[in-house]
Homo-oligomer: A and B are copies of this chain.
Amino acid sequence: MKHILKSQQFSRQEIEKLFADTDHIRGLYEDPEKKKGLMTSLQGKTMFAIFYEPSSRTRFSFCSAAANLGMIPIWTEDAGKFSSAVKGETLEDSIHAFCQYDPSVIVLRHSEVGAAEKAAKIVDQFGYETSIINAGDGKGQHPTQALLDLYTIKREIGRLDDITVVVGGDLANGRTVRSLVYLLSKFERIQFVFLSPDNLKMGDDIINHLKEHDIKFTETENMKEALRVADIIYWTRVQTERGSINDTVDLTIGVEEMYLVKSGARLMHPLPRVGEIKTEIDHDSRSAYFRQIKNGKFTRMALLEDVCR
């Protein structure tokens, strides 16, 4: 695999291979003896994190992953303000220029849908060895987030088939949610329950994708009912900064709501949360949202190992 651009590029086999690699790396990391070898495995290689939109969490995740493999991370926190983009340079020229410094990988975050694909195209056109990893392109994709979500499901409930997934919150704007749905639809007997206020429903592109692939889904505004049937509850924030409003459905999950949830189920959230999950359930063993972040580092380490070798 050269570039990581979108969730759809991964076949089921590739996903399973990636997760086995992730488990392997995690095993090495957690073994004091073996950790040393792991931490020099990509020594001498460089990772550039070019963030046109600030996102310190994603950046720290990638930079930690790189550093834990011995790579040197070099970044810009806000390329939109700090780079030649200010002077009117195209993204293609910027990427073309950065490739001259010979980074093994460029992790790109951009506000524009398709930015990572543009970047990959210029890399390939000129034959550079640099890999592009899409770390979010506006309302487009954030494939490493989707992969870490999927890895979390696998790790938490032990399987990726036969799952009822309740996806709730701002489904209209959730890039994360959309990528996850694409990825999960590669597996068997997945059922989706989409829970959102009427004005924040899942977009037609996803709905059509599910119909085409004959994947079961329902749409509801009844949270209690949804929580009862879920194996995985994937919760999201209402993105008020993108104009989303929710004044119709209460989507808050706390101790009381967790009584409805199966003992073997898990609650996930890409974070940040702004009240839709109460901190009172952070210690509940079914709350997997912080473990999700931890899984992100290991998944990204596996991806870096894959594209940088």
- Convert A31-75 into 0s and 1s, putting 1 for each residue whose CB lies closer than 8 angstroms to a CB of B: 000011001000010101010001111011101100110001110
Residues of B contacting A50 in the complex (Cβ-Cβ under 8 angstroms):
56
**Given the contacts A89-B273, A89-B274, A294-B100, A63 and B74 also touching, CB distance less than 8 Å:** yes
Residue of B nearest to A76 (CB): B56
Contact B97 A83 (CB under 8 A): no
Contact B81 A72 (CB under 8 A): no
Contact B297 A102 (CB under 8 A): yes
Contact A54 B82 (CB under 8 A): yes
Residues of B contacting A46 in the complex (Cβ-Cβ under 8 angstroms):
64, 67-68
Identical chains in the assembly = 3
Task: With both chains docked as a complex, state the minimum distance between the C-beta of A172 and any C-beta of chain B, in angstroms.
Answer: 17
Contact B60 A74 (CB under 8 A): yes
Contacting residue for A56 out of B84, B293, B297, CB 8 A: B84
Task: With both chains docked as a complex, state the minimum distance between the C-beta of A136 and any C-beta of chain B, in angstroms.
Answer: 13
16 more A-B residue pairs beyond the given contacts A56-B83, A64-B101, A100-B293, with a C-beta to C-beta distance below 8 A: A46-B64, A46-B68, A55-B83, A56-B84, A57-B83, A57-B97, A57-B98, A60-B76, A67-B72, A73-B74, A78-B81, A89-B274, A100-B290, A102-B294, A102-B297, A126-B282
Interface residues of A (CB under 8 A from B): 35-36, 39, 44, 46, 48, 50, 54-57, 59-61, 63-64, 67-68, 72-74, 76-79, 81-84, 86-89, 92-94, 96-98, 100-103, 126, 237, 241, 271-274, 279, 282, 290-291, 293-294, 296-297
What are 22 A-B contacts with C-beta separation under 8 Å? Answer: A36-B44, A46-B67, A48-B60, A55-B83, A56-B79, A60-B98, A64-B103, A77-B78, A78-B81, A84-B272, A87-B237, A87-B272, A89-B271, A89-B272, A96-B282, A96-B290, A100-B293, A100-B294, A100-B296, A101-B293, A126-B282, A126-B290
The 5 closest A-B pairs by CB, nearest first: A89-B272, A54-B82, A100-B294, A100-B293, A56-B83
